[in-house]
């Protein structure tokens, strides 16, 4: 059985003070959470949030990680820096990184290898744009992102990996993929992983859906066979909304 995982991606929102406030509000609301709960927050919030989540089930995540151990990489943050603060998860290859900051499947692959080497749990994002979807290229795009992004990754590595399927056209737009559609596409990713890394790996791999997920659609999405969780943007910024997704079963 795959344990559901609901992760917030705060993106470039919340100062450290605001972050403390949000976690304080969130803590009581997710006390009895059934899924694994993660908050991936800006680097400047990590320290404050690591303290604020103490005594709760909430786990700490970052929004990226450098591919090198250390050195002349202005503006980057290393895996050791994250680990020392108590970071457990790290988002890699978010579509906004690909779109605005030149991330490619190759850089995603390098960051992924580094995260694994250092014992961070990667949440690797894949997804097609609207144009790609309209041109019927979804499968081709996802296949390239998975095969190139996960180059040299072993079956054993997959034990700590989560994939987030985020159709770019559904991010921050209010448009959600229908639950059936998301399930089908995630099923395609799962079968691709099965074919490439083995049936067991594909069966055990947790794959999240991301894109305008909110309390009102979480239950339907989470009821799908292939969907094991959500990567939540906008709705992760309000304690009540994020908790509403975490507690989708209630």
By CB under 6 A, name the binding residues for ligand 13P: 9, 94, 166, 171-172, 210-213, 231-235
Which residue's C-beta sits nearest to ligand 13P?
233
The CB-of-237 to ligand 13P minimum distance in angstroms stands at 9
Find out whether 210 and 164 touch, Cβ atoms under 8 Å: yes
Q: Which is nearer to ligand 13P, 172 or 198 (CB)?
A: 172
Q: Which is nearer to ligand 13P, 202 or 210 (CB)?
A: 210
154 burial via Cβ count (<10 Å: 0-12, 13-18, 19+): exposed
| Alpha carbons 44 and 11: distance in angstroms, whole number | 12
The CB-of-135 to ligand 13P minimum distance in angstroms stands at 22
CB atoms within 10 A of CB 199: 11
Find out whether 49 and 21 touch, Cβ atoms under 8 Å: no
The CB-of-68 to ligand 13P minimum distance in angstroms stands at 24
Q: Which residues are catalytic, by number?
A: 94, 166
Angle, helices 179-197/138-149, rounded to nearest 10 degrees: 40
Find out whether 128 and 167 touch, Cβ atoms under 8 Å: yes
Q: Which is nearer to ligand 13P, 4 or 234 (CB)?
A: 234
The CB-of-210 to ligand 13P minimum distance in angstroms stands at 4
Q: Which is nearer to ligand 13P, 30 or 170 (CB)?
A: 170
């Amino acid at each position: 059985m795959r344990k559901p995982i609901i992760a917030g991606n705060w993106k470039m929102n919340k100062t450290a003070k605001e972050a403390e406030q949000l976690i304080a509000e969130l803590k009581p609301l997710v006390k009895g959470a059934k899924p694994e709960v993660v908050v991936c927050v800006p680097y400047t919030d990590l320290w404050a949030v690591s303290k604020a989540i103490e005594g709760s089930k909430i786990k700490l995540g970052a929004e990226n990680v450098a591919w090198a151990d250390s050195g002349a990489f202005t503006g980057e943050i290393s895996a050791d820096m994250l680990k020392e603060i108590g970071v457990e998860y790290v988002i890699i290859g978010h579509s906004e990184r690909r779109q605005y900051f030149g991330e490619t499947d190759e850089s995603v692959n390098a960051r992924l290898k580094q995260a694994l080497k250092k014992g961070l749990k990667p949440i690797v994002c894949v997804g097609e744009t609207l144009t790609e979807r309209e041109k019927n290229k979804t499968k081709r795009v996802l296949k390239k992102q998975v095969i190139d992004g996960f180059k040299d990754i072993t079956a054993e590595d997959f034990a700590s990996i989560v994939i987030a399927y985020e159709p770019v056209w559904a991010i921050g737009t209010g448009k959600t993929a229908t639950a059936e559609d998301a399930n089908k596409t995630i099923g395609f990713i799962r079968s691709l992983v099965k074919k490439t890394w083995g049936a067991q790996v594909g069966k055990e791999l947790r794959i999240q859906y991301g894109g305008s997920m909110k309390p009102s659609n979480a239950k339907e999405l989470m009821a799908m066979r292939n969907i094991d969780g959500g990567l939540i943007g906008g709705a992760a910024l309000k304690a009540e909304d994020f908790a509403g997704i975490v507690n989708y079963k209630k």
